[in-house]
Structure 1
């Protein structure tokens, strides 16, 4: 999945000379957490978070605080340079940026100009889509040797039952490089027949692991 498929193109921005007061107003009005700061050519020159604005704002508990601080330019508190991504980057790859840098949002830039923004919420929603958990169904986890051809071998068993596979994920098995866990999301509320077929074919199931073997 590409960034351009999940990014929000309706981005709220400010110029570097806008006031902190303007940023505070936009953050509250649009219920957002970050505002990219762009120049006249729509180049990203900084980014401001709700925390930056909150830290720069006078305390509401201090009646003697200087309210004029809100008139300072936003460029005095913005973060720069800014880490950006491209619309054609893979979502799975930019997830690493969110994790490593502990970002809550990342501007999307094409030809040096701002074209969108991706947030933590966008990433979580995409994870739901990729794993298929938004579709009612069942999950089956199969431990297999880490060798070529295992996915088509296992999925052929689902095909024999005409079972629709919503998603397939591959996870490492603990710290053992010789095995992988295949996680299938299937569109059925009764996975028992598939479970029994997998066991009959000699596969070890990690989930479900509480369905008894059929009595002979």
Structure 2
């Protein structure tokens, strides 16, 4: 299963918090990048993006334009976790940090490519690889999840009688309904294989009513 460390940009260009905004802008232009992690004595302070520098006097220091604490993610996290964090925080880049050490930076563009490799193009649902990693992640957190498999009976007969176009449409409709149901109960829907789907809910089955 793909992890963040496999799609991040390693050894990112960094800058000191007391460097000038002019220096930061020049570094971004020189390396054709849109962001810079800010380090002070090896400690991660935050990240600045090109948008932060617009309209700022070039003689001001980077520290003046930093916004809040740095948002980071573990290199062992999955692309789905990274996507959720980006959406939650409203950012397009994540710092990849392990034990306080900056390992790289994950951009929204790189994440989109990684997610595209793990999603089913017909239904838009994550594939089985994501299912396994999602279950492992929940259990690592001490959560006892509920896993539900959904198998469409006689789906092959539908394809034979009405054609594959109708079959594809049926799969998309089922996927949409399963996904909506899963989200309603804070779960995730996956396309397992063919006409098989899986739902994962972050709580035990006991007391769970379908």
Question: What TM bracket, shorter-length normalisation?
Answer: 0.5 to 0.7
Unpaired stretches in structure 2, ≥5 consecutive residues = 125-146, 158-171, 183-187, 197-210
Query: In 1, Cα distance between the equivalents of 2:154 and 2:21?
Result: 57
Alignment RMSD = 3.6
Listed one character per residue, the Cα deviations across residues 170-192 of structure 1 (whole Å, up to 9, x for unaligned) are: 94517456xx9875898xxxxxx
Q: Match of 1:212? A: none
1:55 aligns with: 55
Say if 2:92 is the partner of 1:104: yes
How is 1:134-153 mapped onto 2 (pairs within 5 angstroms)?
139=122, 148-150=148-150
Change over 3 Å in CA distance of 1:176–1:16 after alignment to 2: closer
Residues 1:2 and 2:3 are matched in the alignment? yes
Q: Contact between 2:44 and 2:101, CA under 8 Å: does it hold in 1?
A: yes
Q: Does the residue aligned with 2:83 lie in a helix, a strand or coil?
A: helix
- Tell me: CA distance 1:185–1:120, structure 2 relative to 1, closer, same or farther (3 Å): farther
CA contact (8 A) 2:123 2:176 kept: no
**4+ residue segments displaced more than 2 Å:** 147-157, 169-172, 174-177, 180-186
Deviations 1:106-148 (A, max 9, x none): 1011110111110100111112111266xxxxx479xxxxx94
Q: Is the 8 A contact 1:45 1:80 kept in 2?
A: no
1:72 to 60, 67, 80: 60
Q: How many residues align?
A: 152
Deviations 1:145-177 (A, max 9, x none): xx94435989999xxxxxxxxxxx994517456
The equivalent position to 1:126 in structure 2, one of 109, 114, 124, is 114
The 8 Å contact of residues 172 and 181 in structure 1, kept in 2 or not, is answered as: no
Shift of 1:77: 0.9
The answer for the alignment partner of 2:177 in structure 1 is 173
Matching residue of 1:44:
44
Unaligned runs of 5+ in 1: 57-68, 134-138, 142-146, 158-168, 187-197, 204-216
Structure with more helix by fraction: 2
Aligned residues of 1:173 and 1:181 also touching (Cα < 8 A): no
Q: Which residue of 1 aligns with 2:34?
A: 33
Seen in structure 2, the aligned counterparts of structure 1 residues 152 and 176 have a Cα distance that, compared at 3 Å, is closer
Q: Greater CA radius of gyration, 1 or 2?
A: 1
1:91 equivalent in structure 2: 79
Task: Assess if the C-alpha contact under 8 Å between 2:10 and 2:104 holds in 1.
Answer: yes
Distance 1:181 1:114 in 2: 33
Q: Do the aligned partners of 1:46 and 1:81 also contact (CA within 8 Å) in 2?
A: yes
SS in 2 for 1:118: strand
SS at match of 1:70: coil
Q: Does the 8 Å CA contact 1:33/1:50 hold for their aligned counterparts? A: yes
* Secondary structure, aligned partner of 2:73: coil
